């Protein structure tokens, strides 16, 4: 039976409007005033905001580093849905010695039949040769139009020459490259320096990856992109120094897309010493700062303010999470002897919408329309899913978040759906909640809990829309 969402406020990037939404099968069939309730299942959504399903373009589910991530596609996708995220774009990663086809198969094996939200993959390229180049054409056929490069991590990073070749190829394919910008050589040196000085605790992690290491990599990446004459994306921008390089390149006429993540907006490096978020009393466990070890690392409050300002001015295009969860017990603890052995990454796929709503919209930094753009519409455009995803419009997938705008609650490991024994946002008071969530017309979340599992489909993506 068709579903009628009645009396809600439909959010888009250009405004909010009170309207009913009619869902027929997997699609939105009609949006309008006072739509007929005859022969339809009517759901009263008055007083609620209706967002297009949020899209997280930066997750790492079922990733093996020194250990496996705590969340796989089964658990991570359910957590995503509970927070209002209906599509994730995870990173299929080519280990050196593997073909792209093999990497893609590995990721399909991890995700297919197990995932509760819709999903797509970027392809991380770590080895560049003639075969890889040919295989990039095949990736387009496989629905992959975005590629990831690393400038840090010795097992993954590419040289400047390889980056140049890859960017030229992606230009030909009308795709988009997103790059992890940190100077890997300098990070290695700085880690050595810190350890040699006996600095082994988590708080030295950011010392080994200061903003200049990010800014230098961004500057070099954008120089390579300028030579290749192609728009590029920067993932997880963390620092004011890095942002200044973006501004400089844009002033020079370059098209640069920027992603940041909630952790760079609402956390700062003091948590590496206290082991807790914000102003909570410090954890008595001196190693608890490991819960906040990820890369690029947390910065100063002034960096967060710079990023918020850039977001408010529409200079940052997307907010995703870099969800890469590791349990504290057993996994993060691998680094008790030295901070560089702590698995890098934090959980967050569930909490992104509520953090951005609470600290962005409710605190007056951004509008609800901007939130819609940053968490859904821009991501759908850049990664070739628009207007199937990213907008509530007739003919689009009926991925709909029914958002309670005034509910107040506290984030905790006790109420999260991540398969992780902690959350870095423990104790944060937030406002708003994804009450009900629809994925292609099926209700998958009711009152904040999963009611339908494992119906996620792989999304074949088109060329990027460069907005």
What is the x/- site pattern for Zn ion, positions 306-325, by CB under 5 A?
----------------x---
The span from the CA of 406 to the CA of 429, in Å, is 12
Q: Cα 87 to chain center, whole Å?
A: 10
Look at residue 347 and give the partner it binds from Zn ion, ligand URP, none, a contact being a CB closer than 5 to 8 Å depending on partner kind: none
Cβ(4)–Cβ(40) under 8 Å?
A: yes
The interface region with Zn ion, picked from 1-9, 101-109, 177-185, 265-273 by CB under 5 A, is 177-185
Minimum CB distance to ligand URP smaller for 214 or for 436: 214
| Closest distance to Zn ion from the beta carbon of 367 (Å) | 28
Does residue 180 interact with ligand URP by CB under 6 A? yes
Contact pick of 81, 181, 213, 324 for ligand URP (by CB under 6 A): 324
Does residue 214 interact with Zn ion by CB under 5 A? no
Cβ(298)–Cβ(269) under 8 Å?
A: yes
The closest of 43, 56, 135, 49 to 94, measured between CA atoms, is 135
| Closest distance to ligand URP from the beta carbon of 253 (Å) | 29
Does residue 180 interact with Zn ion by CB under 5 A? yes
Q: Quickly tell me which residue has 């995932």 as its tokens.
A: 115
Minimum CB distance to ligand URP smaller for 96 or for 141: 96
Contact pick of 51, 54, 121, 294 for ligand URP (by CB under 6 A): 294
Minimum CB distance to ligand URP smaller for 191 or for 368: 191
What is the x/- site pattern for ligand URP, positions 234-263, by CB under 6 A?
------------------------------
Does residue 157 interact with Zn ion by CB under 5 A? no
Q: Which two tokens stand for residue 35?
A: 């739509």
Parallel, antiparallel or unpaired: strands 429-439 and 442-446: antiparallel
Q: Which of residues 332-361 bind ligand URP (CB under 6 A)?
A: 344-345
- Which residues fall within 8 angstroms of residue 329, CB to CB, at 6 or more apart? 421
Minimum CB distance to Zn ion smaller for 78 or for 180: 180
Look at residue 390 and give the partner it binds from Zn ion, ligand URP, none, a contact being a CB closer than 5 to 8 Å depending on partner kind: none
Cβ(209)–Cβ(297) under 8 Å?
A: yes
Does residue 71 interact with Zn ion by CB under 5 A? no
The span from the CA of 83 to the CA of 425, in Å, is 14
**Cis amide prior to 387 (ω within 30 degrees):** yes
Minimum CB distance to ligand URP smaller for 344 or for 423: 344
The footprint of ligand URP on this chain (CB under 6 A) covers a number of residues equal to 8
| Length of the chain counted residue by residue | 467
| Closest distance to Zn ion from the beta carbon of 225 (Å) | 17
Does residue 351 interact with Zn ion by CB under 5 A? no
Look at residue 345 and give the partner it binds from ligand URP, Zn ion, none, a contact being a CB closer than 5 to 8 Å depending on partner kind: ligand URP
| Closest distance to ligand URP from the beta carbon of 208 (Å) | 13
Minimum CB distance to Zn ion smaller for 169 or for 180: 180
Does residue 295 interact with ligand URP by CB under 6 A? yes
| Closest distance to ligand URP from the beta carbon of 328 (Å) | 15
Minimum CB distance to ligand URP smaller for 51 or for 425: 425
| Closest distance to ligand URP from the beta carbon of 58 (Å) | 7
Q: What is the dihedral of CA 12, 15, 17, 23, to 10 degrees?
A: -10
Cβ(21)–Cβ(441) under 8 Å?
A: no
Per-position DSSP letters for 54-104, written without gaps between them: EEEEEE--S-BSSSB-S--HHHHHHHHHHHTEEEEEEEEE--TT--HHHHH
Does residue 60 interact with ligand URP by CB under 6 A? yes
The closest of 302, 193, 301, 306 to 258, measured between CA atoms, is 306
C-beta atoms surrounding 293 within 10 Å: 25
DSSP bridge pairs for 439: 442
Q: Quickly tell me which residue has 């057993």 as its tokens.
A: 330
What Cα–Cα distance (Å) separates residue 94 from each residue in 100, 232, 345, 461? 6, 20, 19, 19
Does residue 59 interact with ligand URP by CB under 6 A? no
C-beta atoms surrounding 231 within 10 Å: 18
| Closest distance to ligand URP from the beta carbon of 344 (Å) | 3
Chain residues binding ligand URP by CB under 6 A are 60, 180, 294-295, 322, 324, 344-345
Chain residues binding Zn ion by CB under 5 A are 180, 322
């Amino acid at each position: 039976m068709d579903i009628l969402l009645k009396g809600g406020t439909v959010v888009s990037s250009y405004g909010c409007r009170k309207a009913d939404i009619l869902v027929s099968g997997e699609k939105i069939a009609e949006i309008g005033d006072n739509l007929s309730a005859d022969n339809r299942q009517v759901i009263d959504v008055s007083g609620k905001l209706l967002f297009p399903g949020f899209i997280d373009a930066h997750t790492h589910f079922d990733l093996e580093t020194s250990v496996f991530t705590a969340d796989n596609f089964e658990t991570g996708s359910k957590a995503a849905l509970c927070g209002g995220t209906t599509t994730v774009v995870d990173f299929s990663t080519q280990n050196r010695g593997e073909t792209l086809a093999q990497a893609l198969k590995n990721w399909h094996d991890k995700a297919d039949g197990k995932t509760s939200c819709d999903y797509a993959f970027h392809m991380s390229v770590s080895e560049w040769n003639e075969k890889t180049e040919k295989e990039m054409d095949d990736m387009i056929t496989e629905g992959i139009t975005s590629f990831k490069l690393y400038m840090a991590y010795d097992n993954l990073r590419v040289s400047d020459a390889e980056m140049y070749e890859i960017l030229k190829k992606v230009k030909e394919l009308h795709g988009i490259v997103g790059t992890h910008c940190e100077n890997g050589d300098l990070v290695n040196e700085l880690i050595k320096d810190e350890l040699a000085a006996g600095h082994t605790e988590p708080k030295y992690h950011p010392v080994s990856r200061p903003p200049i290491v990010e800014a230098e990599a961004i500057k070099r990446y954008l120089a390579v992109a300028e030579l290749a004459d192609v728009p590029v994306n920067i993932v997880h921008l963390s620092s004011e120094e890095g942002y200044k390089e973006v501004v400089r390149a844009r002033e020079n006429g370059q098209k640069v897309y920027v992603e940041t993540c909630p952790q760079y907006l609402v956390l700062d490096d003091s948590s590496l010493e206290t082991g807790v978020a914000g102003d909570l009393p410090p954890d008595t466990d001196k190693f608890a700062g490991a819960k906040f070890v990820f890369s690029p690392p947390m910065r100063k409050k002034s960096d967060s303010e710079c990023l918020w300002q850039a977001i408010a001015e529409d200079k940052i295009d997307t907010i995703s999470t870099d969800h890469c969860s590791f349990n504290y017990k057993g996994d993060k603890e691998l680094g008790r002897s030295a901070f560089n052995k702590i698995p890098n990454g934090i959980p967050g796929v569930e909490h992104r919408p509520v953090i951005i709503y609470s600290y962005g919209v409710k605190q007056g930094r951004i509008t609800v329309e901007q939130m819609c753009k940053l968490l859904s519409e821009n991501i759908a455009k850049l990664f070739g899913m628009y207007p199937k995803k990213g907008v509530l419009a007739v003919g689009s997938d009926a991925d709909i978040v029914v958002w309670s705008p005034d509910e107040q609650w506290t984030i905790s490991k006790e109420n999260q759906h991540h398969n992780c024994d902690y959350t870095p946002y423990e104790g944060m008071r937030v406002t708003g909640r994804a009450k009900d969530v629809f994925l292609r017309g099926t209700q998958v979340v009711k009152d904040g809990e999963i009611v339908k599992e494992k119906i996620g489909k792989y999304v074949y993506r088109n060329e990027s829309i460069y907005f």
